[in-house]
Each structure stands twice: as C-alpha cells, then as structure tokens.
Chain A
Amino acid sequence: MDEEQVSKEEQARKISRELIAGGKVDGVLALLEIRDHVVPHLFTEEKELEGLSVSGRYPVAGVAERLLHRWEDGKIAVLARGCDERHLIELGKKKSVDLDRIRIIGLACTIAEAKECHCVRPYPTEVEVGRSVGNVNYRDHEALSELINMDIHERREFWTKILDRCIKCYGCRNVCPLCNCEDCRLEETRWIRVGEIPPEYPSFHLIRAFHMADKCVGCFACQKACPMGIPLARLHQLIKEDLKSEYGFEAGRDVDEVSPLLVDPHAAAKVKGGRG
C-alpha cells in the first residue's frame, strides 16, 4: 500500500477512535477489510479499528439507514466517500434517515479510484481523510458517446440485446441504497411479468432507470453488482446529465435541493438550491 493510503488509514482510525472513545457515537460504520475484500461493518470498539479499510468500495448508506431505523436513539458515524455522502443526503431528502444522527467522516477518493468509477465528484462536502483530487471529470466519454452516436434503431438493438442477458437477480436494486421503496414497482405484476427470465424488455430496466432518474448519484455499484455485465451506469449517467443540463439538478448535493421531477417542469429550472 502506498504512503498516501497508509496515512489515510491512520487519519480514519484516529478520528474513529476519538469518536468511539468519546462516546459521541454508538459506532462507526465503515468497511472492514477481510483478506482481499471489504464488507460493511459497525466498529464499536477501538481495538477493531485495525481492520478499517480506506481503499475498499461498497455502498454503506443503506446499512446506515437500516441501523438508524432499528435503534431510534442511535447515533453513528459513517466513513463516507463522495458517493456515500450523496446517498445519505438523498436518504435524508426522503426522510428515510435522520441526518442529525449521522456524523459523516469525509473520505476523498484517489485519482485511480475516481477513474475506475468514472466519477465526476470523487469527494464529499468536507474532506477529513485524504485529499480531494479537486474538480475532475472521469465520465466514460468513449462509451457514452458511442451510445449517443447510435441512431435510434442501433440503440434499440444494443439495449434489447444486452438487457436480454438479465437474470432478474435484483442485484442492481439490492445494492443501491436509494432504490429502496417499500413497494417496489419492479415487483408489481401489473408492470412486470413474474417468474420469467429475462424480464420483459424494456419495462423492467426502464422503470428502474426512471425511478432512479433524480436519485442516482453515479456510484456505479449497480453495474459492479450485475452478474451479466449489463452497463447499467450508462443508462443512469445519460439521464443524470440531462437533468443537470436542463434543470441544473444534481442528486445528493444538498438536502434542500428539490428534484425537478417533483415540481412544475416550467418552474423547475429556477428551483435549483431552493425549495420549490
């Protein structure tokens, strides 16, 4: 591990240790390193912090939500990358988590990490661990322009073919902290036939894409979880970019920023940063 990562680990452990020792939180939610991978873990004792990872990636906001639901008076710290923080902010908007009960420990991604996730904002609002790489844009230009440059028939064929691989594992939904409606539309027989793979084209994936349109923060977890190599992030990325260019909206930026999909579309352009 390089020096930067070592010092990040030390920073993260130090802050976590202080928070746990000071009794300010019930635990620190972060990734625990096991062999060559990581898993979400609630660190409640100082001695456990040896295993805390700053290099692994897996969305933890959904776990935070479940923990805070379960323990109504609980307070936790979350070691959060930019995407984790954006997840938490979106959950805050939905009133699904109480952000006052979360102490975010901001973790900046390295350039290599940001590139791997095609990230356009690889840092949280306030960085406490590591150094922000600043304004970068590692958007997957090549793949996205290939898609945009297709005519409608080519594009339909591309998606028809690749979405036909789907085995309906729901991994894209399950791994996403924001795709968590109590009554999932993907499970409604009115929209999607049950008991068959692949799920019918295009409703399954388009319903999900539309539902995530104003929520997706671009963490790439869905694409990584897909066993069939479906490039789901491309679908989400293009919709996200439209919302940004048309309405100036970006999911996960500010808990008070209202989705343009929830207000009068003509007024939407003006609601940036304020309540509609």
Chain B
Amino acid sequence: MNYKTIQSTCPYCGCGCGIYLEIVDGHLVGTMPVLNHPISEGSLCIKGWAAHEFVESEDRLKRPLWMRGANLEATDWDSALYAVADRLNQIKLEYGPDAIGFLSSAKCTNEENYVLMKFARGVVGTNNIDHCARLCHAPTVTGLAQAFGSGAMTNSVPELEEATCILVTGSNTTENHPMIASRIIRAREKGAFVMVIDPRRIHLANHSDMFVQPRLGTDVAWINGMMNMIISEGLHDEEFIRARTENFEAVRETVAAYTPERVQEITGIEPDLLRRAARAYATSERSSLIYTMGITEHTTGTDNVLSLANLAMLCGQIGRRGTGINPLRGQNNVQGACDMGALPDVLTGYQKVTDPAAIAKFESAWGMELPTEPGLTVVEMIDAAMDGDLKALYVMGENPMLSDPDINHVKEALSNLELLVVQDIFMNQTAELAHVVFPAQSYAEKAGTVTSTDRRVQRVRKAIDGIGEALTDWEIVSRLAKIMGASGFDYETPIEIFEEIRTLTPSYAGITYVRLDSEEVQWPCPTEDGPGTEYMHKDSFTRGAGHFTAVEWKPPVEVPDEDYPYFLTTGRVHFHYHTGTMTRRSPTLNREMAAAAADINPVDAEALGIKSKDMMKVSSRRGEVKIRARLTTSVPPGTIFIPFNFRESAANALTISARDPVSKIPEFKVCAVKIEKAVGRRVGV
C-alpha cells in the first residue's frame, strides 16, 4: 500500500489556502484542507476541494510540439528548444532585442517567474516582460505605490476579522475569494459593520449591513462624495493627515465640488445612504477597505485606487491592525509574479529598471548587461505585434486569446508574429496559434514558492512525477538559456533559485526554504531572524509621507447609445477560474457550470422578449457572442454581466481595449453592447 499526503498551496485564487494532496500509488486521488492553516483553517471552497482533478487529465500536453506545415506535430525536447533558440537569436540579430516580448505567469512559482525575468532581461536583453497582473491589479501597483510607496494588500487575511467596519467595493468576495469572505462574515458576527458598494447586487450584499448600488464606472464620484461629507462633518483625522501625509489641500479643494446632489446625479446614490456609509467608515475604530477588479479594470483604474487611498488617509484608517486597504489579488501567485519583476519597469521587489544602482546590482550579480528603458505592457505588446514591431512572443502559462480585451484583435496580432512560443500544461486558444509549444508541469508536479494576496510566501510541493515529458517552467527556460550560451542558469533545484532571489530582493531577504517549512512568511521580511510583516505602513508609509492625489471623475470611454444601448460588465464566476483551462477539465466544477450564462435583469429580458435560458446574441463594436440568458435582479436594468471564463461565449470578444493611461489596464468592466434574441431553439439545462 502506498498512500501519502503532500502539503501544498491551492493553485486557484490568491487567498492562498492550505491543501493536502492525497496520493495513491503515484496518482492524485483527493484534496483535503490543511487544519490550522492561517488562511483557510481547515476549510476550502469548491475549487480547492477539486484542486487535484485537472492534474492528470487526458488532455495534458505530454510532448513538445512544433509547427510543421499547418499543423502542430510532436517532437523531442532538443529539436524544439534548439529551434526556438535559433529563431530568438535570429530575430534579436535582425530586429533587436525589443522585437521580442515575454508573458510571464501568475500561475507559476516565484522561482519560475524570476528565471523567465532573468532570461528576458539578461539573455534576450529586453524589458518587454509582463503578465496578467496588467489585466487585474496594475492600477493597484501604480496607484498604491504613488500613495504609499507599496502596491500590496496592507493587512493580513486573518486580521480582517478584527476590523470593526469593512467596506467591500468591486469585489464579489464570496464567489472569487471565498476564504476571505469567510473572514468578513466572521467579523460581522463579532459586530463589524459591513458595507457592500457594487453595481451588482452580489451574494455578500445579503450578509452586509448596507448595500449601495452605484452606476457602472462612477467610483471616483462616490468616493469623492464620501470625502466631501466626511470633511464637511469634521469626521476626518486631522492629526493623521498632519503627521503622516502630504498634499491634502489639493484633495480638499477637489472634493468640495462633489456635493451630495452632484454625486447623486453621477452615481445614482441617495445622499442619505452615502452619508451613512461615510460616517460608518470614518468613525469606526478599525475600518478596512476591500476591493478587486471592480475598482481596477477601468480606464480610470489608477484614479479609482488613488481615491480609495485618499479616503483611507483622510480617516486615518490605515497602518494599524485590522485597518487598511486590501486589494485582493486574483491568481494564486500574481502577487509573487509582480514581486519577481515580471513587469516591464521593475526588477524583483519593485526595484526600478531606471534606477542605476538597482541595474548595477543585478548586472554584477548576473554578469550580464541589462536594458534600462521600461518595456512594453501586455496590451502594448499585442498592439506592437499588430503593427509589426514585435516579432516574437514567448508565453509562459498565459492565455491572452481569452483573457485579453478585444480578442479578435489579439488573434490578428498573434498571427502576425514570426515566432510564437507557448509553454503550458494544456493546449489552449493561444497555443493553437503557436509555432512551438512546450509541455509544462503543473503545481502538483513541482516544488517552489508562491506569494498569496496578503504577501504571504508559501511552499508548493511536488506530489507526483511530471506528466509525460513535461518539465517545470524553470527547467524549460533554463535549458533554453543554456542553449543560447548564457551562464547563470545551472540551477538544480528551486532552492538555488530562491537563494538568488533573496540576495537580490531586500523584502524577501529574510525568507528561506527552511523557514517556509515551519511557517508562512509575509514580506517585507528583511532579516532571517526577524518576523515578516502582518500589516504595513505602521509608523510611516513605505515612501515616507502618504501622498494625497486630487482626482476628478471621468466617465467610461464607451457608454450606451442608440446603437449599443446596454452596459456590458464582465467578471468571473465561483465555479470556474479565469480562462477555464483547469476548471473546465475538473469534473466537479464542470458539472456545476458547463456553459456560460449572461446575467440580465428581468425587466430588460421582457422588453427584448427573452426568457430564461434563451440564447441571446450580444454584440459590441468589436465582436459578437451567443450566450444563454440567466434572468436575475443582481444586475440592474440596462446592464448585463458576462463571465470571461468560457471560450465559446468569450466576453472578451466584446470588451474594449481602451486603457488606463497610467497603468495600461483595459476597461474590462464597462462597454456598450446591443442584445438580440438569437434565432433557434431554447437550450436545455
């Protein structure tokens, strides 16, 4: 009998729950929760319980593939790696290193992101590296960095239970961060006042003390409105503002114009309701803000984040236990991928590529010359491919053909490339267009670390051997680097990579694998004998003084008109994860939701003659999709919601690639569509 369990970290969302994988004779047979885990405490959500299910799927990529004629055919590792090395060298020689781009992965470990980052910058010589954080929390990274000097969740997940007031906005927490929702529920049981401010009436609204429903894309207006009320009632924390912040006067002047009446006109929120929310937030002992994509995925994403930062500083609701600003990160390791410098403007730990001292440190450690101009972001790389400036794209564990906005445009751009390399565990829509596909190992086949939403660095452990000929992402990239003649990629284990990371990254310097065997450590953790950091900005902000930024409300780029009379907003569903490559191959999850449905208000449905489960044709200026209708009052009349998880009803065929000028995040949350009843029969359950 051979039965064992291996502790790991859930591969889905950023909560970072502890799981045990059950292994019988070398195969995964189950998942169990880790009791006493600081985040999940012996519970899991449906995805966590099913975390083993997709790993040994028949569909796993087992051999390298390359394009022969019009088809992808199996080949051996050496042939595929040498072919990619040759093409990368040629393209670099002919067009320069910036004709090559890299998409790193928030699903891969810290070590793997670091190795790809080192390869892109050191071996190829470009800063064109980015990943899907661009599509979720880029405004958090830029906005909170501008306000506080650090763009991460300020508190810890367990601490949320100590908050006395929680304002949740733009986060469907029970569906997308279930184990954090559990803390909100518990905080409320202990007496916390919970407010949900969201254009959709989400599940958590049923378990809140107050639900406020602003119009889509009006966040800056209601936040400025709240600040206007707080200041006029004298509820702001003058002592905190004086001692810890700068530039408050600019904000005071700007918000003065956001009178309750004007705010109501823009947002639709009753002044009395907003006043109650403002008072509760400002006067509670420990208020915490929680937000996700509803705040960030706008052309005003950075403005929205800055506004929340203003609100927290105005009330002194930051820098103490249980109070702060908590952007919940989406992917299991999106925090880590950012920390590892898989971003076009920073090296590990947010050390800027434009900082000569940082560049000098990395150049001397790596023995390589490094580029110092910030590179292209995700959406800019796609545009550059379209324009012919980007010739090669190397994609590690991402699926831009479903996750990026305006995918018809993405497809055209990717087809334009001279070289598209995809490294993944499954064939996906992006890999279908690739010239070479490398089979990678999943989280259950490899060791490493991930950093979950509250800056918590945790171990991922090898539970089973690699499927087929699949290799870990760090091995693939290291082999490629060595073939291209680079030194510094002779890693034998992820520990060696992590040791290199921590010597170059002050916030990770005190974290070691040995420590991670007995604890999860939250960065910043500069010394091995010091503890990590539960909550940030205690006595001063990372940048010194907290910086207020005056922000004016701007409407979304595309709003309904005569031709496209409805708002479309997009997001995720509880039972699937992102582009569905893992969850749709998981029987438990697929059974819950095998196909997409669009949420439409019964009032709109009736006007359009649409009944429950009817097929609808939804079109925007960029594309159209067919999708089943689900009648629900969770969306207000005039707005429909489509999840982006499903390739056959891809929400991102409709979305607009207009982006935030600062963080470059696309406006996934708002565009205009028209809805028609699709011809044909109703679809059964």
Chain A residues proximal to chain B, CB less than 8 Å:
26-27, 32, 34-42, 44, 56, 58, 63, 66-67, 70-71, 74, 76, 164-165, 167-171, 174-175, 187, 189, 194-195, 197-198, 224-229
One of B42-50, B56-64, B360-368 contacting the partner: B42-50
Choice from A39, A41, A164 contacting B34 with Cβ under 8 Å: A39
Choice from A34, A40, A224 contacting B32 with Cβ under 8 Å: A40
Contacts of A44 in B (CB 8 A): 1
Report whether B3 and A37 are in contact in the complex, using a CB–CB cutoff of 8 Å: no
Docked pose: A39 CA to B518 CA in angstroms: 15
Report whether B5 and A227 are in contact in the complex, using a CB–CB cutoff of 8 Å: no
Report whether B32 and A39 are in contact in the complex, using a CB–CB cutoff of 8 Å: yes
Chain A: minimal CB distance from B254 (Å): 39
Contacts of A169 in B (CB 8 A): 43-46, 48-49, 178
Choice from B1, B36, B182, B575 contacting A228 with Cβ under 8 Å: B182
Contacts of B593 in A (CB 8 A): 194-195
Contacts of A66 in B (CB 8 A): 24, 29-30
Choice from B1, B22, B189 contacting A74 with Cβ under 8 Å: B1
Q: Would you call the interface of chain B mostly helix, strand, loop, or mixed?
A: mixed
* Contact of B232 with A by CB under 8 A: no
Docked pose: A151 CA to B596 CA in angstroms: 42
Closest to A221 in B: B42
Docked pose: A36 CA to B5 CA in angstroms: 16
Q: A27-B1, A39-B35, A168-B592 are in contact. List 5 more A-B contacts (CB 8 A).
A: A37-B37, A169-B44, A187-B591, A197-B174, A228-B181
Choice from A39, A198, A226 contacting B7 with Cβ under 8 Å: A39
Contacts of B45 in A (CB 8 A): 167, 169, 227
The 6 nearest A-B residue pairs measured at CB: A227-B43, A195-B593, A37-B36, A37-B35, A227-B182, A42-B3
Residues facing A in B205-240 (CB within 8 A) are: 206-207
Report whether B207 and A165 are in contact in the complex, using a CB–CB cutoff of 8 Å: yes
Contacts of A175 in B (CB 8 A): 33
Please, could you name 10 A-B residue pairs with CB atoms under 8 Å apart, sorted by A? A39-B7, A39-B34, A63-B22, A66-B30, A67-B3, A167-B203, A170-B46, A198-B203, A227-B40, A227-B44
* Contact of B20 with A by CB under 8 A: yes
Docked pose: A35 CA to B519 CA in angstroms: 9
Chain B: minimal CB distance from A179 (Å): 13
Chain B residues proximal to chain A, CB less than 8 Å:
1, 3-5, 7, 20, 22, 24-25, 29-30, 32-37, 40, 42-46, 48-49, 174-175, 178-179, 181-182, 185-186, 189, 203, 206-207, 518, 573-575, 588, 591-593, 597, 685
Docked pose: A171 CA to B64 CA in angstroms: 38
Contacts of B575 in A (CB 8 A): 195
Q: Which of A32, A38, A74, A167 has the most CB of B within 10 A?
A: A167
Docked pose: A40 CA to B42 CA in angstroms: 13
Report whether A227 and B35 are in contact in the complex, using a CB–CB cutoff of 8 Å: no
Q: Given A165-B185, A169-B178, A171-B43: A35 and B203 within 8 A (CB)?
A: no
Report whether B4 and A41 are in contact in the complex, using a CB–CB cutoff of 8 Å: yes
Docked pose: A44 CA to B30 CA in angstroms: 20
Docked pose: A170 CA to B1 CA in angstroms: 28
Report whether A42 and B1 are in contact in the complex, using a CB–CB cutoff of 8 Å: yes
Chain B: minimal CB distance from A200 (Å): 13
Contacts of B179 in A (CB 8 A): 227
Contacts of A74 in B (CB 8 A): 1
Docked pose: A39 CA to B42 CA in angstroms: 11
Q: Given A67-B3, A228-B182, A229-B189: A56 and B44 within 8 A (CB)?
A: no
Q: Given A169-B45, A170-B46, A225-B43: A41 and B33 within 8 A (CB)?
A: no
Report whether A58 and B182 are in contact in the complex, using a CB–CB cutoff of 8 Å: no
Contacts of B174 in A (CB 8 A): 167, 197
Closest to A70 in B: B24
Contacts of B5 in A (CB 8 A): 32, 39-41
Docked pose: A231 CA to B229 CA in angstroms: 40
Contacts of A76 in B (CB 8 A): 1
Report whether B42 and A225 are in contact in the complex, using a CB–CB cutoff of 8 Å: yes
Report whether A194 and B592 are in contact in the complex, using a CB–CB cutoff of 8 Å: yes
Report whether A67 and B592 are in contact in the complex, using a CB–CB cutoff of 8 Å: no
Report whether A39 and B20 are in contact in the complex, using a CB–CB cutoff of 8 Å: yes
Docked pose: A197 CA to B5 CA in angstroms: 30
Contacts of B178 in A (CB 8 A): 167, 169, 227
Contacts of B207 in A (CB 8 A): 164-165
Closest to B206 in A: A164
Report whether A67 and B182 are in contact in the complex, using a CB–CB cutoff of 8 Å: no
Q: Given A38-B35, A228-B182: A197 and B42 within 8 A (CB)?
A: no
Report whether B592 and A195 are in contact in the complex, using a CB–CB cutoff of 8 Å: yes
Contacts of A194 in B (CB 8 A): 591-593, 685
Docked pose: A247 CA to B248 CA in angstroms: 73
Report whether A225 and B33 are in contact in the complex, using a CB–CB cutoff of 8 Å: yes
Closest to A58 in B: B35
Q: Given A168-B46, A228-B185, A229-B189: A37 and B1 within 8 A (CB)?
A: no
Contacts of B573 in A (CB 8 A): 195
Report whether A195 and B597 are in contact in the complex, using a CB–CB cutoff of 8 Å: yes
Report whether B186 and A229 are in contact in the complex, using a CB–CB cutoff of 8 Å: yes
Report whether A197 and B203 are in contact in the complex, using a CB–CB cutoff of 8 Å: yes
Docked pose: A158 CA to B236 CA in angstroms: 38
Docked pose: A69 CA to B182 CA in angstroms: 35
Report whether A171 and B44 are in contact in the complex, using a CB–CB cutoff of 8 Å: yes
Contacts of A165 in B (CB 8 A): 185, 207
Closest to A38 in B: B35
Closest to B25 in A: A70
Docked pose: A34 CA to B30 CA in angstroms: 19
Docked pose: A63 CA to B24 CA in angstroms: 11
Contacts of B3 in A (CB 8 A): 27, 41-42, 63, 67
Chain B: minimal CB distance from A222 (Å): 11
Docked pose: A128 CA to B36 CA in angstroms: 28
Docked pose: A44 CA to B3 CA in angstroms: 10
Contacts of B574 in A (CB 8 A): 167-168, 197
Contacts of A229 in B (CB 8 A): 182, 185-186, 189
Report whether A189 and B685 are in contact in the complex, using a CB–CB cutoff of 8 Å: yes
Closest to B685 in A: A189
Contacts of A35 in B (CB 8 A): 36, 518
Docked pose: A174 CA to B22 CA in angstroms: 13
Chain A: minimal CB distance from B471 (Å): 29
Contacts of A170 in B (CB 8 A): 46, 49, 588
Q: Given A39-B20, A225-B42, A229-B185: A56 and B35 within 8 A (CB)?
A: yes
Choice from A34, A71, A171, A228 contacting B33 with Cβ under 8 Å: A171
Closest to B175 in A: A197
Contacts of A58 in B (CB 8 A): 32, 35
Contacts of B33 in A (CB 8 A): 171, 175, 225
Contacts of B591 in A (CB 8 A): 187, 194
Contacts of A227 in B (CB 8 A): 40, 43-45, 178-179, 181-182
Chain A: minimal CB distance from B192 (Å): 14
Contacts of B4 in A (CB 8 A): 41-42
Chain B: minimal CB distance from A126 (Å): 25
Docked pose: A58 CA to B42 CA in angstroms: 10
Contacts of B203 in A (CB 8 A): 167, 197-198
Chain A: minimal CB distance from B45 (Å): 5
Chain A: minimal CB distance from B607 (Å): 24
Docked pose: A76 CA to B22 CA in angstroms: 18
Closest to B207 in A: A165
Docked pose: A169 CA to B5 CA in angstroms: 21
Contacts of A39 in B (CB 8 A): 5, 7, 20, 32, 34-35
Closest to A194 in B: B592
Docked pose: A42 CA to B1 CA in angstroms: 9
Report whether B181 and A167 are in contact in the complex, using a CB–CB cutoff of 8 Å: yes
Chain A: minimal CB distance from B173 (Å): 10
Report whether A26 and B1 are in contact in the complex, using a CB–CB cutoff of 8 Å: yes
Closest to B3 in A: A42
Report whether A224 and B42 are in contact in the complex, using a CB–CB cutoff of 8 Å: yes
Chain A: minimal CB distance from B376 (Å): 38
Chain A: minimal CB distance from B25 (Å): 8
Contacts of A56 in B (CB 8 A): 35
Closest to A26 in B: B1
